[in-house]
Structure 1
Amino acid sequence: DQIFQKAGYRCGRYISPTIFCYLERFQINGAFMEEETLAKLMTKVANEAREMREEGRDHPTLFELETAVAFLWFLEQQVDIVFLETGLGGRLDSTNVIEQPLCVLFASISRDHMAILGDTIEEIAREKAGIIKKGCPIISYPNEAKVENVLRQVAKEVEAPIFIVDENAIKKETSSLEGQIFAYKEYKGITLSLLGEHQLKNAAVVLEAIEQLKPMYPIEKEAILKGLSTVVWKGRLEVLQQSPVWIRDGAHNVDAAKQLRKSIQQYFQIKSKRDEIQFLEVENDKMQGIHHEKLKIAKNTVKNTKKMKDIEKDTSFYFTNRRVFYIIGVLADKEYEAMLQIMAPLADVIVTMTPEHNKRALSSSQLADCARKYANTVIDGKTLEKSVALVKELATKEDIVIVFGSLSFIGGLENLLVS
């Protein structure tokens, strides 16, 4: 989207879920649809849906209505190209009414929405592969072999060319909290504003897609480089504040948790603390109605079996005064225990919260009980607001705070940090 905008094209974008507001799902060149426009188009679509019901046909779902609204808007606004994100899966998704897309892109495919898409990674991949159309170019993230085999098989069945990113062709040059510089095939010295090694792979998917679309949409290299260097993806390893560092990430499944852990270790050189560090002074206290463990972690000590002289000789042991705080909220139908097993070893303190206004939300107390299996210090923060207030009191300017678990609540974090 950002690359096409830099090249001068008018771009429609339809996404879900949203982070900040409902209208975020409908965008043209980054601007959200106006409320008045939504009201006008939704009324038109609702009238059609009513006629369908009167004719004895099924009433469209809400997502189907929203998809129709998006298509109407893009048509009225005469956009040059539309970027559609499937809502769930692919084969039965509302966006899959497009008979001949220009190009089909697959990001990382992992275990998620198993109750709907299937229990195995192969079943999930086949559902997602349902958006592949005859003769339509396919570009894929370098997924695990089982996923790639499914995509290749479906591509062969419908005679569609498939291009899977060559992971070995990605050459990372530098990486920091300000961004990354990398090369991919003939593209050299690319600055990417997004963080994490997985985003280098996503950028490579984009570069492969651009090559397929160039015959229809001429794009200069300058637009490609500017687009990648300025792209913003809210809620994806996004640094909100420094001193202490506050990061929000929408990681809500096992694969995303692995990527997040890898990124934390990469950027902050944090190693597992579960077995290596004890916290000496912990006292119970109450603040603003929250029952929490007020931490005095100025004194960290190594496990009794390790002596300081051993540490000096053991270069594999990383001793740091930077503490890692998590604020976590999840939905009950996610593999949250597996996520905790992956993420908890890096944390000094885990604060749990309940995502608000979501019937699928797991309670903070249940999440805290689960987290205590894998972490030394777990606090039930109840709500996002109380959890942020608590961590703001406890964290020093050298510490790191990671807020993750669901895209459903992280949009409100910025206002809480400045309040």
Structure 2
Amino acid sequence: MRKSRTYQDAIAALNGLQSNAQTIEKARKERDVNANKNIPWMEKLVRIINIEPVDLDRLNIIHVSGTKGKGSTCAFTESLLRRSGYRTGFFSSPHLVAVRERIRLDGVPLAEDVFTRYFWDVHDALRDGCQPEEMPPYFKFLTVMSFYVFLQEKVDVAVVEVGIGGTFDSTNVIKHPTVCGVSSLGYDHMSILGETLPEIARHKAGIFKPGVPAVTVRQPEEAMMVLQKHAESLSCPLYVVPQLNQYPTEDNIPIDLGLEGPVQEWNASLALQLCRIWLERTQKPHAHSRSENEVPNQKENLRFEQSSKVEECEPFLVTSALRTALKECRWPGRFHRFSQKNLDFFIDGAHTKESVAFCAGWFRKSALSKDSKKVLIFNSTADRKIEDLLSPLINCGFNVALFCPNILEVVKVNAASDQANFTVNRDQQLARCGKQKILWEELNGVKQRKDSVAEAICFDSVKDTLAWLEDFAENNDGKVEILVTGSLHLVGAVLSVLDPTLENVL
């Protein structure tokens, strides 16, 4: 008789699928040779668990790529459709505290017992049906599992966030999405996607499908030209969304978003248009009768024939119910505030030059206590330029800057932990933290000035960093305002210490 397998057993088995740092580096070097094998591999994997790629059409998928804001756009989209009466599935990455966050039903991460049951269904089928070398790595496995869960649970809509890029991303096994979206484009994952904005845009546009409407926020001209050219090659109608303040609202009450930050207005507008096009193309009935809760279906404003130019979507009336959906949307780790005792945390997983600049502006505007001490907790991963990320933070008035790796604690990694990460090399992370500290000091002019602007300290782990922070707070009267940024993995590690029960995260 087989021993009952627990959630911890599932996490240990899942973490066993992580690629180590050396394997990832090798894959990056060989990406041009092997990238085109990824989608056929995904097609084989879904077939092993008795899903034909065409079966994914039943999920009425909204597929979203982009550099900045694609997760927030998906969160807004899911909230709007769920509160319009539809049963939603939502696949995103990375997770912050628990891997269950990546697969959500009706806005809620899978419960441990549900995750465990579906995990073993998929794992056992793939283990029995794959050659050992064909067993999918971590992200690919979770992508397959998400499709299995959504089909089993018979969701009305699946909102799917691209992992990296688009063209060769595991989620691009989707052949016939209902609508595609592209959030703001910028420079990220350049070792994989290319060094120029047009190269990056080509990957992001890779999710476009023949005849399927695509919607984007306003983009830099060189990126928009690539999106438009690719859309034209597929006879794919491409639209750009209006500014959020162009949407009329009931009783002329302004739209108030549940996610902070100026970029969220574009993400919310993109989500509104994705939902409207989704409704127009599916005409899918839901559990409740049509009411003011539903995103308006304004067929006359949506022209899906191919155009030689990028057309702007028409703004539509945002009802009070839709305003509520936007206001109550939550997406932890992005412009996220969290208080504990006399510590006020400002948490944002910004990891591009542009997004860190937005984050710095948000912190300067939101951290209003003149008498508080201000602390930076920062780390970035190896494929990003440190100076680009640190420079926007110089003028935030930090008294202390703390640098630590995305490592929870200095102990042997527990393979059954949601925070286990075998894809990074600890020594390399620590060396990078040292470089970040030196660069911070140089940017602040510490070497040339006796009155250093901000003391800089390196730590071996997140727990060590937070322990020092508590001591620092005890020795200083009043509030301490802390900005945590540079990496979503750092944000997740910090939140897993501050909120281990997930009460404020899930």
Aligned partner (choices 456, 459, 464) of residue 381 of structure 1: 459
Deviation per residue, 1:74-105 (Å, 9 max, x gap): 11111111000111111011111111111111
Identity %: 25
Cα pair distance change 1:268/1:65, threshold 3 Å: closer
TM-score (norm 2): 0.65
The structure in which a higher percent of residues are strand is 1
Which residue does the alignment assign to 1:234?
A: 332
What is aligned with 2:161? 85
1:158 paired residue number: 234
Question: Which residue is 2:71 aligned to?
Answer: none
Q: What is the identity, as a one-letter code, of the residue corresponding to 1:223?
A: A
Aligned 8 A contact 1:331 1:360 in 2: no
Q: Which residue of 2 aligns with 1:210?
A: 275
Identify if the C-alpha distance between structure 1 residues 267 and 41 changes in structure 2 by more than 3 Å, giving closer, same or farther.
closer
Shift of 1:59: 4.2
The 5 Å alignment of 1:48-67 reads: 48-50=125-127, 53-54=130-131, 58-67=134-143
Deviation, 1:366, is: 3.1
Deviation for aligned residue 1:262 = 2.3
**Superposition deviation, residue 391 in structure 1:** 2.9
TM-score (ref. length: structure 1): 0.77
Alignment of 1:14-413 (within 5 A): 14-50=91-127, 53-54=130-131, 58-166=134-242, 169-170=243-244, 183-187=245-249, 188=252, 189-215=254-280, 216=283, 219-220=294-295, 221-241=319-339, 244-268=343-367, 321-346=371-396, 347-356=398-407, 357-358=420-421, 359=424, 362-363=429-430, 364-375=433-444, 376=453, 377-392=455-470, 393-394=472-473, 396-413=477-494
Segments of structure 2 that go 5 or more residues without pairing to the other structure are: 1-77, 285-289, 296-318, 408-419, 445-452, 501-506
Secondary structure at 2:459 match in 1 = strand
TM-aligned CA distance change 1:142 to 1:399, over 3 Å? farther
Structure that is richer in helix per residue: 2
Which residue of structure 1 lines up, in the alignment, with residue 82 of structure 2? 5
Structure 2: which amino acid aligns with 1:340? Answer: L
Determine helix, strand or coil for the equivalent of 2:181: strand
Residue-by-residue CA offset, 1:127-183 (whole Å, 9 max, x unaligned): 1110011121212122222222211111111111222223xx44xxxxxxxxxxxx3
Q: Count matched residues.
A: 355
For residues 125 and 196 of structure 1, the distance between their equivalents in structure 2, rounded to whole angstroms, comes to 24
C-alpha offsets along residues 94-122 of structure 1, whole Å, 9 cap, x if unaligned? 11111111111111222111111111111
Moved more, 28-37 or 370-379: 28-37
Instruction: Give the RMSD, CA atoms, in angstroms.
Output: 2.6
Report if aligned partners of 1:140, 1:164 keep a CA contact under 8 Å in 2: yes
TM-aligned CA deviation for residue 51 of structure 1: 5.8
DSSP-derived class of the 1:246 partner:
strand
The offset of 1:417, in angstroms, is 4.8
Displacement of 1:412 = 4.2
C-alpha displacement of 1:341 = 1.6
- Residues 36/265 of structure 1: CA separation in 2 closer, same or farther (3 Å cut): closer
Q: Which residue of 1 aligns with 2:52?
A: none
SS in 1 for 2:488: coil
Between 1 and 2, higher relative CO (CA 8 Å, sep ≥ 6) is seen in 2
CA distance in 1, matches of 2:392, 2:171: 33
The answer to whether the 8 A contact 1:42-1:65 is kept is: no
What CA distance in whole angstroms lies between the structure 2 residues aligned with 1:18 and 1:339? 22
Contact between 2:351 and 2:380, CA under 8 Å: does it hold in 1? yes
Counterpart-to-counterpart distance in 1, 2:134 and 2:140:
12
CA distance in 2, matches of 1:399, 1:22: 30
